[in-house]
Amino acid sequence: MLDLAFVRANLPLVQEKLALRSPEAAALLSGFAELDSERRAAITEVETLKAQRNALSAQFGQLKREGKDITAVQQQSNSLKDRIAELEAVAVAADDKLRGLLQAVPNLPVDSVPAGKDEHDNQIIKTWGEPVELPNAKPHWELGEALGILDFERAAKISGSRFVVHYGSGARLERALANFMIDLHTREHGYVEVLPPNMVNSKSLFGTGQLPKFAEDLFHCDDEGAFTGELKDSDHWLIPTAEVPVTNLFRDETIDLSGGNISFCAYTPCYRAEAGSHGRDVRGMIRQHQFQKVELVKFVAPETSEAEHEALTSHAEAVLEKLGLPYRRMLLCSGDMGFSSAKTYDLEVWLPGQQTYREISSCSNFESFQARRANIRFKPAGTNKSEFVHTLNGSGLAVGRTYLAILENYQQPDGSVRVPEALVPYMGGETVITPQRFGKAI
């Protein structure tokens, strides 16, 4: 959430920045100036009336000492008291409405974010590796089903569309990838592993920016009935990403950064209703209702967040490089960034079976936006005054998309799939995935 005082003092700049995202975003604050004017007018009148009441109090005391009639002065004072209470209520209500407006307003893009409407305006910052050109390359869903390691048909039977069952070496590959990523981030990149709950309450989802705007993209448990808009401690939602529970570990806390930034990595399942996807990517594992992901989350001092964003992104890139998967880093334009982000890099992996790059990680700097919503603070060295931390997160990586990238990039002419060298120890020495008696072969 944006700082109310900053918006109040810099409304034209804020609207200009929001217009870079979209006309709709800029319009969200269309009523801000009027509400703020109403609030200011009420406060100004309150101060004037309080001065008048103080003068009456002095007059009241003087009349009482002189034994004169105080009825008229007392009535006037009571009238002022009632009017002051009314105006203070107006000011509080206007202030609440202003904060309510801000809850729906996305973060402001930093100056280095390019202006643009959608993914076509994103900028290529870096490429790594040569895209594999394979004759007769197959997409991962054909490879996985032919190998007997992926089963979309039975998954649809037991759960519905956009689910998959993994068998044999395929299930082992998923587990191997998660272990490889966690080991890399904890042993070489300095992250602390954390295993959070897979369900959170609505206050947690508000803190990271999913609620109330994106409720339809989430799975809400019906333990307390439908979501009414009230933020509770006791309702439950399936997490869309480990970013939510890990960031909210410190909700309503003042944390200690004197020993350095705090960096966590977490491996969890993720659940997304994909209500706004409108039938995109229905084939294969690109856009699933349930998938596994290793998430990187950082809590940092404001002056270090830009450098930490670069570092976090490089940590996600290291996974792709060690697996030998060609990728490119994209700087998202203002119109393609997520709601809470101030700056985002997407990593896109090459998929020869589809002859395209696809997103495999999104690494974002939220600055103080999430911390303000979740009330996460720290005290800078040498001061007793707390301020909001900066939060960052990124996929390090999405396990399912890394899985399918391996199938497509390491496929062999005979339909088998080589195991990347870095994963062989995690696969029990298995170097090639060959057809197995699972899936459609059963």
- 94, containing H or E segment: helix 71-103
For helices 32-65 and 71-103, what crossing angle results, to 10°?
Answer: 160
What is the identity of the amino acid at 370?
Answer: Q
Rounded to 5 degrees, φ, ψ at 194 are: -135, 140
Q: Is 359 annotated as a binding residue?
A: yes
Q: Is 431 annotated as a binding residue?
A: no
Going by C-alpha positions, the residue among 48, 135, 127, 44 that lies closest to residue 355 is 135
Going by C-alpha positions, the residue among 173, 175, 177 that lies closest to residue 148 is 173
Hey, which residues does 262 pair with through a beta bridge? 299
Q: Is 340 annotated as a binding residue?
A: no
Going by C-alpha positions, the residue among 171, 153, 148 that lies closest to residue 435 is 148
* CB 367 within 8 Å of CB 342: yes
User: How far apart, in whole angstroms, are the C-alpha atoms of residue 399 and residue 402?
Assistant: 5
User: How far apart, in whole angstroms, are the C-alpha atoms of residue 10 and residue 19?
Assistant: 14
* CB 192 within 8 Å of CB 264: yes
Q: Is 272 annotated as a binding residue?
A: yes
Secondary structure in 3-state letters for 18-73: HHHHCHHHHHCCCCHHHHHHHHHHHHHHHHHHHHHHHHHHHHHHHHHHCCCCCHHH
**Strand pairing report for 262-271 and 192-193:** parallel
Give the chain's radius of gyration (CA, Å).
28
Helix (H, G, I), strand (E, B) or coil at 416: coil
Q: Is 263 annotated as a binding residue?
A: no
Q: For residue 425, say if its preceding peptide bond is cis, omega within 30 degrees of 0.
A: no
Q: Is 274 annotated as a binding residue?
A: yes
Q: Is 362 annotated as a binding residue?
A: yes
Going by C-alpha positions, the residue among 86, 84, 63, 85 that lies closest to residue 74 is 63
Per the structure block, which two tokens stand in for 260?
């350095």
Q: Is 242 annotated as a binding residue?
A: yes
Q: Is 253 annotated as a binding residue?
A: no
Q: Is 273 annotated as a binding residue?
A: yes
Helix (H, G, I), strand (E, B) or coil at 324: coil
User: How far apart, in whole angstroms, are the C-alpha atoms of residue 221 and residue 365?
Assistant: 30
**Strand pairing report for 237-238 and 199-200:** antiparallel
- The annotated binding site for L-serine is made up of 241-243, 295, 395
- The annotated binding site is made up of 241-243, 272-274, 295, 359-362, 395
- The annotated binding site for ATP is made up of 272-274, 359-362
